[in-house]
Structure 1
Amino acid sequence: MELGPTAQQYVLHWGEMGTRWGVNRTVAQIQALLFLADQPLHAEEISETLQVARSNVSNSLKELQSWGLVRITHIAGDRRDHFVALQDVWEIFRVIVEERKRREIDPTLTVLRDCAAGASDDQTLSRAAQARMDQALDFLEMLTSSYEDYKHLPPTTLKRFLKMGGKVARLLSSDEKN
């Protein structure tokens, strides 16, 4: 598969952004390539297009599959696995947020809850430190609760909500002034 200049710029930039988000560059580039592709691609095509090692492509595809961003499909007459990426940006966003919550926020909440439970018995922990831990726990629990409220909203509702963001912020800040 030959990438034109615009697609190449997109894929390269997505890989660069991936590294800033804590994602391997090749993983992000493959997701971007499959997102732009008009047909499923097999691993050799991906490897040749991105000029990366086949083993790197295989590992990256496994990672993308574990996130639920890429799935295997088959083409009649071809025994190789082909890969397609989610195409709906709202679904991609939802999957990424859900996975990051599961991998990062949920374990942190578990530890913070354990710390909160043990804090009263820890004579070495200052009240101020305990209060800061409690604030972190309260913040993450509120964030998680809000996420649970919004995660099942249809994209059209989320779009309207996001477009209202500035108006809601002004409304809420005017309430605080009164």
Structure 2
Amino acid sequence: MKRQIRVAAGLAAVLLGSAALAGCTSSGKTSGAATSAVGSAAESALASATAALGSAAASLGASAQAAASSALASVKGGLNVKGDVALGAATTGSDGKLSVPVTVTNHGSQAGKYTIQVNFDDASGNLLDATVVNVPDVAPGATAQATAHSNRSLNAPVTPVVANALRY
């Protein structure tokens, strides 16, 4: 996937460079018609490369979402308890990955284990990454701490969101 992103970015750079050169005459001056035609082609190529980059990022988010959904599907008889989970402020590690403190408060009458899906969304609400955090037995009325880590380096601004939380 990273290779696809690099190829798309490289293609955009080559096309833009070619567009700049194609509009030049042998005297070094630009030809108006050539500049216009090449400019349109470059804009189209850039738009295509940008779409490819967006598609690659969406594909990574979808892959992470599928893995998280699979982990949640393995929980049998869980109760949806998103209200039991609160997220703290995300911090970025030296590797570019995000860490988010997770606080779980068991509002139930019995001890329970928690499986929590945390999504990492961009400013437009698009899914960039997802991870699952497991919290062992939490007594009724008690609070437990955990940390959710993104699977890959993410650029700001990113908003962590509790997508699912199951108590079982």
TM-score where L is the length of structure 2: 0.29
Q: Which has the larger radius of gyration?
A: 2
**Higher normalized strand content (fraction of residues):** 2
TM-score where L is the length of structure 1: 0.28
Larger RCO: Structure 1 or Structure 2 (Cα < 8 Å, ≥ 6 residues apart)?
2
**Higher normalized helix content (fraction of residues):** 1
